[in-house]
Copies of this chain bind each other. A is one copy, B any other.
């Protein structure tokens, strides 16, 4: 629904935001319509970032880019896609800002020019030492045009490139200096390179299209959308290079199994994606099933809050034996241009977006499954909707553990003050949202939902324990205000 942890109000359905989606395609056969591949792949990755997007196309070493604020469907037109033209390589990006302001300048891919030609970089994740790196670069005379991590990464690679034999060696040498989470797709004049931090916070996979094109994407759903076959996940710490010599891998920084963000399985990723071998949809069904075991209840129907609560609701129904029902109709026409109701009509806003099916819930004891509670206000409104539609009891079940700690690795789960679970007990939350009972998935339960994944997990937002060192302070606008101004 439409609530946000941070200050920005948005029409989007998601309360918590992933930073970005990345995509790259390399055509060994020569110049092709790689911009179209990127366009359709970005549609599949739109859920990972709705603030800005961009595509850069490389034709014979010359890179053209188009990017802007807005959704893929609005930013790209037949005309500007045609102007990008055909090429051998393309990279694409969808962005939600965790670092750096919402501005056209911060849209990605970032395209820069350096001594060995042009480079385009698309980044998903968050560096924990970006401010320090930037300060060091500035002290050596660097100038910055944006406030995002990607420019820092580009600089580090460029600096290494001066003394490296190849762009991939430059990436390899830069990686130890980059702390935090990053899944990168990098385009040089002749190569497409994918790289993933050694912890493996964010997903990144490789595929191949029927004609032989090599593709990289944040999620497998992007491969499906363009008819590419899944090859494998990029490993934590791995660099994969695609060029006219074929595809090869640099594993210098590979150390252990990835610790992939557990909340990708619960919430961020699209249910039709498969991450580290685990179907996301199955993980959510399983979350619902475990939740049913951990928090059983007497009830007549199980319903999910669309769209992200439906999978877990079905799992809860399967495990509990309580019939699954469709409890809400969601209005599909709401978009950024929707005019929010005035204060007095604010209560109606949720009704316009979501309507309860009285015929399903009237007179019933209802289990309502959602995937998270952030500030609690949206949940409270949904409980009210159900009661007004005649529900006799409303038992809320959440298919994730409570958030108790910020995420430093590429999402906007931020300060503790804004997380209701840091402020109140579950009992208090239950009272605030007006439910008859409330149950969160346990951390132990959450760790079991993706049993098929061949990775470990980062569950720092649920436990406060992270698979890497955390920074002392984090601020989204860390580069906005210059630390010291002296003239």
Contact = CB atoms under 8 A, between A and B. Distances in A.
Interface of A: 13, 33, 36, 39-40, 43-44, 46-47, 61-62, 71-74, 76-78, 81, 104, 111-119, 135, 138-145, 147, 154-155, 158-159, 162, 166-167, 188-191, 221, 224-227, 270-272, 274, 279, 281-282, 307, 310-311, 314, 318, 323-326, 329, 331-335, 337-339, 341-342, 345, 347-348, 351-352, 355-360, 479-482, 484-487
A355 B221 contact: yes
A118 B482 contact: yes
B487 A345 contact: no
A358 B141 contact: no
Nearest to A169: B487
Given A221-B329, A326-B310, A143 B154 contact: yes
Nearest to A101: B64
A74 B342 CA distance: 19
A485 B40 contact: no
A139 B116 contact: no
A293 to B, nearest CB: 18
Contacts of A47: 333
Contact of A352 (B43, B345, B348): B43
Contact of A159 (B141, B158, B345): B141
A392 to B, nearest CB: 18
Given A226-B348, A307-B332, A331-B43, A116 B314 contact: no
Within the oligomer, what is the number of copies of this chain? 4
B348 A145 contact: no
9 contacts: A46-B331, A62-B480, A73-B338, A104-B104, A112-B144, A114-B142, A190-B487, A224-B355, A274-B359
Nearest to A63: B482
Contacts of A114: 138, 141-144
Given A73-B335, A225-B351, 5 more contacts: A62-B482, A73-B338, A115-B139, A188-B487, A281-B326
B482 A61 contact: yes
B61 A271 contact: no
Contact of A359 (B282, B307, B342): B282
Contact of A141 (B40, B162, B227, B332): B162
Contact of A482 (B43, B135, B189, B334): B189
Contact of A323 (B282, B318, B482): B318
A484 B189 CA distance: 10
A189 to B, nearest CB: 5
Return the 4 tightest CB-CB contacts between A and B, nearest first.
A279-B359, A115-B138, A117-B482, A272-B329
Contact of A78 (B111, B339, B480, B481): B339
Contacts of A61: 481-482, 485
A117 B485 contact: yes
A486 B326 CA distance: 51
A486 B165 CA distance: 9
Contacts of A188: 487
Nearest to A310: B326
A144 B113 contact: yes
A352 B339 CA distance: 28
Contacts of A158: 141-143
Contacts of A46: 331, 333
B339 A39 contact: yes
A114 B358 CA distance: 44
A106 to B, nearest CB: 12
Nearest to A115: B138
